[in-house]
Amino acid sequence: MKRKSLSATKKTLNFYLTKLKDPHIQRLYKDFSNNLINLDNKNKKIMVGVSGGSDSLSLLFFAKCYSLKNKAKLYPVIIDHKMRKESTNEAKKLKNILKKNFDIDCKILSKKRTKIVKNIQSHARNLRYDLFFKECNKQKIGHVLLGHHRDDLIENFFIRFLRGSGLKGLVSFFKNPSQYNGIKIIRPFLHISKKELSIVNKKTFSFFVEDPSNSNDKFLRTRVRKMLKHLNDEGLNFEKFFLTVKNLSKSDHVIQFFVEKNISENSKIFNRPKKVILNKSFFNNPDEIVLRSFTEVIQSISNKKNYIRGKKAIGLLDSLKFSSENVKLTLSGCIIEKISDSVMIYKEKR
């Protein structure tokens, strides 16, 4: 290695390890590294989603420190959604700043631009996860780190609440790690506020990129964020609210235990062709257990990313429950047949 290269490497190492000595940063780094203890990471690669916000840059800083201390390869990626004309230039600018000033080389992931007129943020989220998933498979990485924090969790709770979600939907963000097509999604900052991460960002990289959608009121998330700020001004205690969500998450975990038990004991899976047969006992459970068990079985057969809407599933379950005759129905690309006391589910032919 050339002397200049050695000097640059030493300078980089000193920058990160010096910043890490700050007591506030050191405390949060310990929490961050604890989230990575049980990673099944044979090739020692760490993929990090980088948006340019203060939260994702704080995540990137900690991930870089972790990679230096544990001799792991950092694999940061920037998603270019191509939903705005400026997005490609913004992604390139962020990449250049990180490479030039902080010795971090990001890969930009993007997809051909498509015109989206509704559910824009939902589409953007699905695009991000699809690109993460493909890159993880390509690079043989089993996980991706994302910078979502406590404020995001609370916002997500209210967004789901306004949309009429059940318990599973309300606390879905709290599950950590979560799974996406077999890839682990790890969010190390779910118990840390955006304010704390902003302090980390100021003490480390000292820059961030503002997302213009954050101030656009046409997005529900922006309106919810403003509502929460108003509630905060009125005295809502977010520490206690966070504990409430945490307790709800524990209740959800209990329900999920019985869902998995129901599927294991009262269904039979066939792989060629793929189908599931549910026995009578499958439906002799509390409504929430039956609903969740049923939607999980449907999703496993349909191979669709998102769960079916509860209203549709409840309507179909009522049809099965109250029909004394054999019935044949369709839902989410599946055929559901009631034959005597059993229900058979298989993929619909296209």
Query: Is there a single domain that holds both residue 41 and residue 157?
Result: yes
What local confidence, expressed as pLDDT, does residue 102 receive? 95
Residues 6+ apart with CB under 8 A from 191: 31, 150, 242
46-55 pLDDT tens trace:
999 999 999 9
Calculate the average pLDDT of the chain.
Answer: 88
Among the listed ranges 41-45, 152-156, 191-195, which one has the minimum average pLDDT value?
Answer: 41-45
- Assess whether 152 and 254 both reside in one domain: no
Q: Higher model confidence: residue 232 or residue 343?
A: 343
Q: The domain containing residue 168 runs over which residues?
A: 9-236
Neighbours of 7 (CB within 10 A): 10
Residues 103 and 204 placed together within one structural domain of the fold: yes
Q: Is 132 exposed, middle or buried (0-12, 13-18, 19+ CB in 10 A)?
A: buried
Co-location of 130 and 171 in the same domain: yes
Residue 74 pLDDT > 90: yes
pTM (2 d.p.): 0.85
- Residue in 147, 228, 241 with CA at minimum distance from that of residue 194: 147
Could you please report the per-residue DSSP string of 103-127?
A: ---PEEEE-------SSHHHHHHHH
CATH number, position 322: 3.30.465
What tokens does 62 get?
A: 């900690």
State residue 1's pLDDT score: 47
Domain check: are 229 and 293 in the same one? no
Q: Is residue 327 part of a domain?
A: yes
Query: Looking at per-residue confidence, does 33 or 310 come out higher?
Result: 33
What's the total number of domains in the chain?
2
Pair (183, 258) in one structural domain: no
